[in-house]
Chain A
Amino acid sequence: MALSGVEIFKLLPKTNCKKCGQPTCLAFAMKLAQRQATLDLCPDVSEEAKQKLGEASAPPVRPITLGSGDKAVKMGEETVLFRHDKKFVNPCVFALEVKDTLSEADIAAFCNQVVDSEMDRVGQKLRVNAIMISNESGDAAKLEAAAKTVAAKAAGVPVIINTTNAQAAETAVKLFADKKPLLFGANASNLEAMAAVAKSNKASLGISAASLEELSELTEKAKGFGVEDLVLDSGARKAKDMIEHNTLVRRAAIKKNFKPLGFPVISFAQRGDSLLEALVASVCIAKYSSIVVLSSIEKWKNLALFTLRQNIYTDPQVPMQVEQKIYNIGDPKADAPLFVTTNFSLTYFIVSGEIENSKVSCRLAVMDSEGLSVLTAWAAGKFTATKIAAFIQESGIDKEMATKELIIPGYVAILSGSIEEKLPGWKITVGPREANAIPAFLKSRA
């Protein structure tokens, strides 16, 4: 377990010198315990304390970066088992497997798919993050050729070299030596040689074992060979075993501070059927994998996997928000009704969904209420007559409308008079309290 603030305090100089920026050593200790400060801020800490605290203050799952430049991805640093406790930190990496038995043209086509995979969803740019080049052929020359193709066709995309052959690894990894690749394929029989390749090329090292016991021993050995950035493969390939192993690894790291398993986990979701592959990948997303290896990345599949990853890694404390603007639902003409609501994403999704269900084309004015729902935003003074009136006026939407009518949520019926005063020439209509009554409401107007 991580040390408590008081335990940390005992190891500090207790001089209250303030050089760390905190008023007292105790305050600094508390910051350290909450991981809001790092020990290097203290100039006078003893070597002994450094060693003890360094171990305890290191994150339970080691942070590891895959790749370099603007496509680099961070993994690890997780602090909880359940997303409602605290935000899951670093969204898992999706890696497309490219086998070196493929033709150069096929490899190039895979590279293009990865490069083209970027999509925008709720303001975030999402993509397939990495390519795993697998030494399926067993031939070092073929692996090198495939790696060269990837380096040329998918420049900047983080790379995982997958081979158990240290000589083949050396030539391929060298191509990405300054780009933080992951060398995957170390195991009990090749660990020393693979660790040497990873070390000399500044690569992370992926270690495979047949069990979590063996894996714990191998990571300790790898550290002994001077490689600290490790990625774990427990040998789990069935979804059932992935849940078991990933759960035990995450618990060991977080609840027991068990350092030998305090690393990101790689999972292999490849299946003959792409739909099943997506579902196995979904299990990996929800249950703690840091890298999910895929065999195909169709657009429909990417969209669904990106969305689940985004959902699972959303901060549960911060409401998801949608952009303030007037959304068209269906194909609204001049006589289409105009609704107004707040920008809490769930509010938006539910209201827009019910309008869609009604099959009546409408406009939906979504006002920035800092992600609060209608009643909460009203109570907090973020959804007031003045603000609503200003938003509608500034939008200029009246120019597109035949009659100036605004439908407000039933829960803020009380605002209708004052909005009317502040929006001269507009008729304010009180809509339903709950979104599910919108279809009936629209039907009754028709």
Chain B
Amino acid sequence: MAFTAPKESYAGKVYSVTIGTGDKAATIGGENVLSFHSFEGETPNRPLVAFEIQDVPPTDWPENVRKVFDGVSDDPVKWAKYCQDELKAKAIALRLVGTHPDRENRSAEDAAKTVREVLAAISVPLIILGSNHAEKDSSVLIAAAEAAKDKNCIIGKAQEANYKTIAAAAMANNHKLIAMSELDINLSKQLNILITQMGFDKERIITDPMCSALGYGLEYTYSVMERIRLAALTQNDQTMQQPLLADVGMYVWKVKESQAPESDLPQWGAAEERGILWEAETATALLIAGAELLIMRHPRAAAAVESVIEELV
């Protein structure tokens, strides 16, 4: 029995989405095969790793990732420049967590000012994220989207409760949009449909099916991503052909494994390496499942993921 390689070709294709402007603009997606399956189709773009920064100092980040940014994280502009210039970040994700009513409760105007200052300081693409407070995000992200007009950013996250205002703001100011739903392929599809029914171009959406950390529901995100991608490719479902986002850092750096000191749990080994690997491994698994855009915190985790991407392309 002679071997013939059972290669597959698919009807569908993931949309190519370009973010940023000028020579630092980046493109993700565009493949017509499963992740890293370049042996049977086109994989024109590498996944993109964006470094996460915040509008307020990361007092809520665990020590092992917070300390890396000591001296720059007190100011989002310094922090962004450090990521771009020293860590060679190819994109920055600015999370306006300080606008959350339970946090510093910064105003939409303050958030817009931060966005303007950060944009003036960097040339790589910017992802602008709210604080995940559906109501507050509506006003904050409208102001942020206006402040970033024509800079071709990604604005997020639009959810079922607030997609109308956020999508309208992204549309009016020429941005891309993150559509986030909670670990359900049908909800994800439905949100994409609702957003496109407003007249928003389906090829300007990034899908976030909700991330989860290794050991804390990762298998759900993994399988939802894999199913979305299979629907995009095998069924040519145009409502699910958006690139996928894995918002990794935020989920990883709150689980016990990423922060418990070795003195408390000697059987878990060195805490710093453990946290870094926890983030890098969550990211790698989701890359395999289909993610094209990752938001990460620890520079060593991001660098390790870049190394494995280098081996995968």
Contact = CB atoms under 8 A, between A and B. Distances in A.
A66 interface: no
Given A84-B226, A314-B219, A243 B2 contact: no
A303 B36 CA distance: 26
Interface in B62-111: 101-102
Q: Is the interface of B mostly helix, strand, loop or mixed?
A: helix
Contact of B273 (A260, A276, A298): A298
Interface stretch (B24-32, B143-151, B236-244, B262-270): B262-270
Contact of B308 (A212, A213, A239, A346): A239
Interface residues of A, number: 62
Given A121-B215, A308-B285, A301 B311 contact: no
Given A84-B226, A349-B216, A282 B285 contact: yes
Contacts of A305: 281
B1 A260 contact: yes
Contacts of B305: 279
Contacts of B8: 251
A329 B257 CA distance: 15
B120 interface: no
A276 B255 CA distance: 22
Interface string A263-287: 0000000000111101110110011
Interface string A205-224: 00000001101100010000
A252 B7 CA distance: 9
A395 B227 CA distance: 41
Interface stretch (A71-79, A167-175, A378-386, A436-444): A436-444
A215 B3 CA distance: 9
B291 interface: no
A251 B215 CA distance: 28
B37 A212 contact: no
A10 interface: no
Interface in A300-332: 300-305, 307-308, 310-312, 314, 316
Contacts of B212: 346, 349
Nearest to B300: A275
Interface in A354-408: 356-357
Given A278-B281, A286-B288, A356-B254, A243 B220 contact: no
A439 B227 CA distance: 33
A243 B1 contact: no
Contacts, number: 163
B222 A240 contact: no
A255 B227 CA distance: 19
A441 B285 CA distance: 34
Contact of B280 (A251, A279, A439): A279
Given A83-B223, A286-B285, A312-B222, A307 B280 contact: no
B217 A346 contact: yes
A303 B268 contact: yes
A41 interface: no
A212 B312 CA distance: 19
A102 interface: no
Given A240-B38, A240-B313, A316 B307 contact: no
B277 interface: yes
A436 B304 CA distance: 31
A344 to B, nearest CB: 10
A252 B218 CA distance: 28
Contacts of B271: 300
Nearest to A346: B217
Interface in A395-446: 436, 439-440, 443
Contact of B312 (A84, A239, A308): A239
Nearest to A286: B288
B6 interface: yes
Contacts of A261: 3
Interface in B120-167: 132
Most buried by A among B7, B219, B270: B219
B306 to A, nearest CB: 10
A248 interface: yes
Most buried by B among A243, A260, A287, A350: A243
A440 B3 CA distance: 61
Interface in B262-310: 267-271, 273-274, 276-278, 280-281, 284-285, 288-289, 300, 304-305, 307-308
Most buried by B among A213, A220, A259, A312: A312
Contact of A119 (B1, B3, B39, B267): B267
Given A251-B6, A308-B281, A440-B102, A258 B1 contact: yes
B288 A298 contact: no
A426 to B, nearest CB: 28
B134 to A, nearest CB: 10
A82 B276 contact: no
A118 to B, nearest CB: 9
B311 A239 contact: yes
A300 B304 contact: no
A275 B3 contact: no
A46 B68 CA distance: 72
A393 to B, nearest CB: 30
B308 A353 contact: no
In the complex, the 3 A-B pairs of residues with the closest C-beta atoms, listed nearest first: A299-B269, A300-B269, A300-B274
Given A216-B1, A278-B281, A443-B102, 8 more contacts: A83-B222, A244-B37, A283-B288, A286-B222, A303-B274, A311-B219, A346-B217, A350-B217
Interface of A: 82-84, 119, 121, 212-213, 215-216, 220, 238-240, 243-244, 247-248, 251-252, 255-256, 258-261, 273-276, 278-280, 282-283, 286-287, 298-305, 307-308, 310-312, 314, 316, 345-346, 349-350, 353, 356-357, 436, 439-440, 443
19 contacts: A82-B223, A82-B226, A216-B2, A239-B36, A240-B36, A243-B37, A243-B288, A261-B3, A275-B273, A276-B304, A299-B267, A303-B269, A304-B274, A304-B277, A308-B281, A311-B218, A357-B254, A440-B102, A443-B102
